[in-house]
Structure 1
């Protein structure tokens, strides 16, 4: 068989197509390359987005802001003193972008004006915290990305 530039191009194209096919099959079947959607009900959440914007605006308009700090016991969230802790009802949702199995909810139970997310529930890395709560029949929403 004679080796010329046409044969080289055909062999190069076959090698490239084989590589691309291998990568597509590997990426779509290997669990190591599995990534979760941000949210399962993205369309329903999109329809309620204006409500979230209004609730977030109310939270941002508070005189004091909700502060989060890393402590040896976990992540400590401090609520503004202007909010009476006994009138706050809601939940805390922690979302792990890299692994859906690590996501969890907590009821919003304050001790004083603080909420502690225990260290044993968090692993190192990026987390998104969403606190949805009501105070005096008004909805509030706090969102923050943290690195624990």
Structure 2
């Protein structure tokens, strides 16, 4: 085999490799963090203020996994307050596994989420609530085992 044939073989292999990468990249699923960036940007300052309110609490909202239940525990000062809001489970790797729950804590300020709704992996748990006319926001990265 002469050197001309070897060059042609190298070019064909290179083209096949590039074609394979193009096909794989076209089939890769890409999820956006939010569908409407503009609306999210308009509320950014309000979100920053709500985060400051959450940091001013005596303790942050705790999240812990116990067996088949994920428990979200609010600090003691929030137990007597009437809270409204939602919990957003954001899965960065797959938007199909995202879901939202209304914020409905019990008398001890706890929310229980069944493990069957969560898949193993990383979640950003976004808590957004209002108590006594004051907005709060806390975002926590959590790994579900």
TM-score range, shorter chain: 0.7 to 0.9
Partner Cα separation in structure 1 for residue 112 and residue 80 of structure 2: 14
- Number of aligned residue pairs: give it: 143
TM-score (ref. length: structure 2):
0.87
2:19 aligned residue (18, 21, 26): 21
Partner Cα separation in structure 1 for residue 63 and residue 115 of structure 2: 14
Match of 1:90, SS state, is: strand
Pairing 1:134–2:130 present: yes
Partner Cα separation in structure 1 for residue 12 and residue 42 of structure 2: 47
Structure 1 residue runs without a partner (length 5+): none
TM-score (ref. length: structure 1):
0.86
Pairing 1:116–2:112 present: yes
List structure 1 runs of 4+ shifted beyond 6 angstroms: none
Tell me, yes or no, if the aligned pair for 1:130 and 1:142 is still in contact at 8 Å: yes
Structure 2 residue runs without a partner (length 5+): none
Question: Cα 1:103–1:85, aligned 2, differ >3 Å: closer, same or farther?
Answer: farther
Please give the per-residue CA displacement for 1:13-48, whole angstroms capped at 9, x wherever unaligned.
33212210222023313xxx3231222112321232
Tell me, yes or no, if the aligned pair for 1:128 and 1:143 is still in contact at 8 Å: yes
